[in-house]
Amino acid sequence: MVQLAYLIPLFPLIGFLINGLGWRTVPKQAAGFLASLMMLISFGLSLGVFFEVKNATAAIAPIHLFDFIHAGKLVIPFAFKIDALSSLFLLIITGVGFLIHVYSTSYMHDDEGVVKYFAYLNLFVFSMLLLVMGANYLIMFIGWEGVGLCSYLLIGFWFKNRDYTNAAKKAFVMNRIGDLGFLIGMMLVLLNFGTLSYDSLFAETGGMVMSNGLATAIAICFFVGAMGKSAQLPLYTWLPDAMAGPTPVSALIHAATMVTAGIYMIARSSAIYNASEVALQFIAVIGLVTAILAASIAIKQYDIKKVLAYSTVSQLGFMFLAIGCGAYTTAVFHVMTHAFFKALLFLGSGSVIHAMGGEQDIRSMGGLGKKMPITKWTFLIGCIAIAGLPPFAGFFSKDEILAAAFAHNTVLYVLALGAALMTAFYMFRLYFLTFTGSFRGTHDQEHHLHESPIAMTFPLMVLAILAAVAGFFGMPEVFGEHHLLNEFLSPVVHNHGVHHMEHSTEYMLMGISVSLVAVMIFFAYSRTRKPDFAPNTGLAKVLEHKWYVDELYDAVIVRPLVQFSGFLDRIAERKGIDGAVNGVGRLVRWGADRMRLLQNGQVGAYLFTMVVGIVLLFVLGLFCFNF
């Protein structure tokens, strides 16, 4: 079964080729069905692979397909690595991916570009599978760029809207900045170790071969790549704008899978990161600051998708905080639970937007729960999961992160707890404003409200179940269970400096966070009873405007860059280069104007010139060369 793992990315690729090449001819209904079928096959294969990996006793050798680069001593094979980490990601990608494909068949059914949409979606899944299955950094990088491309294509899917294409461009450029870091890190690895493959690299760095400085340099470079892809400070601003894409895309790419690529990459490189305390510290700080900043912005957003987008940024910050504390498996655990509940929340918001006829502003929603019960209940489960009430998934993973932070440093813990409480607040603010109270939209919208069709509610229900129970894979040891996920991942990912705490401490941490979260939910409830949408002032206004980060980037980076390129355009290009080229032309023309006067048609003049020339040559020969 594992030897057939190369089929997993193959099926989405086939789906992409059929839909992509036949985007004019493939019937609309067939495209969605085909794409979903391909995902289902991949998911079935992934399940088989997963259980085989789970029961395997020894490490599974990479699946070597062919040599991708073979130059002198450098050999980079096109090979797939199937182990605990990648098989877990395979399940998340194909499983959540399949559900979102099914959802999309209904959500996008009346869009004119639906065939293209499914082609892009399949291409995305293919790239993402390549990213997690690659046995070396180069294959990962191919997938890394591929998902970036698909993200760009899908954000700008409704390309007739100028703002949407700008958002797509922004995402692409921001990702390129991060990709450069990844690329430099790869070069550093290649230069110092002569290989990019995980097996040989980590066998080598298992000892003390890698110096601390080198490890820090590589680790920071890789982390810069992760910053771009996983939307961390300072490169996070593309993710909220990426909500311009269709909502299922936001669920799949910008919540469940692509943005967690950075976490995957760092978990994969845990051996490098363990060699560098500095890099881990740096990651922890960046992750924490991102988590707090994004959570604070989410509190004052009115666009249902923007709230979820900032929530995603914030949750990614939590994951990086876990990594910074050396708890890679915790980060992966949170990736898994987050994939379930955030995909659920996004799909739920898609269902709401669908019912509201494209309206995304929660100020004109309210009381939707009566008309769309399934969406309401599944959304509520998602909110509880992300807020972290037991026994839902988010409780276990988030609590583990908080515990890791506590073991590391109390200040980290307090700040992370603050961000977690803000999460509970803004999620329940969103829930109460959308689904409870009375409707605030127009009469037409109210009349139009309806529960979504089964193709949309089915994925919601499946994801709701997963969001409710996924936490049990990572039951903390304090409950007397084995931490299934940690045990599963332990051969691949090596946690670093994670202390085991007293049981009483752990109970105390859980008690604190659960009781405070409950208080925050009540607070959110009381604040949304009588919604008041007066213009914000003071800090609230700053939060509504996202700390003016976009404006800051615009003023500090974008505008000077535009001015500089304007300068280059006006001076260097037009005056310098154009001037030189045109100058040569003008010089020749000016010279020719003078020279053509010599051709006067007088034979006598020609003769005279000739004779003078001959005489001169003679004189010259006589006096100068003496012959």
Q: Does 515 bind other proteins (CB under 8 A)?
A: no
> Which window, 210-218, 241-249, 302-310, 603-611, contacts other proteins (CB under 8 A)?
603-611
Q: Nearer Cβ to other proteins, position 537 or 599? A: 599
Main-chain dihedrals φ then ψ at residue 47, nearest 5 degrees: -60, -50
From CA 522, how far away is CA 22, in angstroms rounded?
53
Q: What is the dihedral of CA 122, 127, 133, 135, to 10 degrees?
A: 150
The dihedral built from the CA positions of residue 223, 225, 230 and 235, taken in this order, carries a sign that is: positive
Q: Nearer Cβ to other proteins, position 207 or 601? A: 601
- With CA atoms as reference, report the closest residue to 40 among 132, 104, 108, 102: 102
Q: Does 602 bind other proteins (CB under 8 A)?
A: yes
Answer for which of 611, 616, 620, 622 binds other proteins (CB under 8 A) is 611
| Contact indicator for 331, 323 with CB cutoff of 8 Å | yes
> Which window, 58-66, 69-77, 364-372, 595-603, contacts other proteins (CB under 8 A)?
595-603
554-564 burial: b if 16+ Cβ within 10 Å, else e: eeeeeeeeeee
From CA 148, how far away is CA 574, in angstroms rounded?
35
> Which window, 99-107, 276-284, 537-545, 597-605, contacts other proteins (CB under 8 A)?
597-605
Query: Closest separation between CB of residue 604 and other proteins, Å?
Result: 6
Angle (CA) 53 56 61, round 5°: 75
DSSP 361: B
Q: Does 207 bind other proteins (CB under 8 A)?
A: no
Q: Does 594 bind other proteins (CB under 8 A)?
A: no
Q: Does 604 bind other proteins (CB under 8 A)?
A: yes
- # chain residues binding other proteins, by CB under 8 A: 9
Q: How many residues does the chain have?
A: 627
From CA 125, how far away is CA 448, in angstroms rounded?
34
> Which window, 264-272, 372-380, 491-499, 607-615, contacts other proteins (CB under 8 A)?
607-615
Query: Closest separation between CB of residue 627 and other proteins, Å?
Result: 18
Q: Nearer Cβ to other proteins, position 590 or 606? A: 606
Q: Does 592 bind other proteins (CB under 8 A)?
A: no
Q: Does 619 bind other proteins (CB under 8 A)?
A: no
Structure tokens at 54: 């789970």
Q: Does 601 bind other proteins (CB under 8 A)?
A: yes
The dihedral built from the CA positions of residue 452, 457, 463 and 469, taken in this order, carries a sign that is: positive
Helices of type H across 108-155: 114-133, 137-155
Q: Nearer Cβ to other proteins, position 571 or 622? A: 622
From CA 156, how far away is CA 249, in angstroms rounded?
11
Site string for other proteins, 235-254 (x = CB under 8 A): --------------------
Percentages helix, strand, coil for the chain (3-state, rounded to 5) are: 75, 5, 20
Query: Closest separation between CB of residue 599 and other proteins, Å?
Result: 6
Query: Closest separation between CB of residue 596 and other proteins, Å?
Result: 9
Q: Does 607 bind other proteins (CB under 8 A)?
A: yes
The 3-state DSSP class for residue 391 equals: coil
| Contact indicator for 441, 94 with CB cutoff of 8 Å | no
Q: Nearer Cβ to other proteins, position 490 or 600? A: 600
DSSP bridge partners of 79: 64
Cα dist from 302 to 171, 350, 509, 533, 544, whole Å: 22, 15, 32, 10, 8
Query: Closest separation between CB of residue 611 and other proteins, Å?
Result: 6
> Which window, 296-304, 441-449, 452-460, 602-610, contacts other proteins (CB under 8 A)?
602-610
> Which window, 83-91, 104-112, 130-138, 599-607, contacts other proteins (CB under 8 A)?
599-607
Q: Which residue is associated with the tokens 């993973």?
A: 397
Q: Does 600 bind other proteins (CB under 8 A)?
A: yes
Q: Nearer Cβ to other proteins, position 504 or 599? A: 599
Answer for which of 593, 603, 624, 625 binds other proteins (CB under 8 A) is 603
Answer for which of 109, 608, 616, 618 binds other proteins (CB under 8 A) is 608
Query: Closest separation between CB of residue 588 and other proteins, Å?
Result: 21
Q: Does 480 bind other proteins (CB under 8 A)?
A: no
- Determine the angle formed by the axes of helices 212-229 and 261-268, rounding to 10 degrees: 160
Query: Closest separation between CB of residue 610 and other proteins, Å?
Result: 10
Q: Nearer Cβ to other proteins, position 536 or 600? A: 600
Read off the amino acid at residue 32: G
Residues near other proteins (CB under 8 A): 599-604, 607-608, 611
